[in-house]
Amino acid sequence: MSLYRVHFKWKDKEVQLTAKSLDLTHPYFVSIKDLVFDDKKTLIINPAQDDIIKAFGSSKHLMIPFQTVLLIEEIEEQEGAVRRFTLVEGEGGAGEEREDRGDAQS
């Protein structure tokens, strides 16, 4: 499923919103529906992201003037972006590679 990332100017700042639905058929506005926000609970709070969520988090439908839009990106939705990686062990020698399965026994 595709997501749309819309970059636009709002209150003299560049803002980025991600949505599931985008409509460009209106002659003066970009219509954005089904906004997507990160649900990550972190110890570090990003004040800029927090302001965006407070301003647009409860919106069902936004109409953004074309003049303020800087960029529209179509991206693929990524669920569970956990990736496998390899560890390289050994000093100076051949270096043995093994795959980390994410468990504590490795």
CA dihedral (45, 64, 66, 2) in degrees, to 10, reads: 70
Residue range 68-104, pLDDT digits in tens: 999 999 988 776 554 555 666 766 555 444 555 555 5
CB atoms within 10 A of CB 100: 10
pLDDT at 106 over 50: no
pTM of the model: 0.63
**How far apart are the C-alpha atoms of 17 and 23, rounded to whole Å?**
14
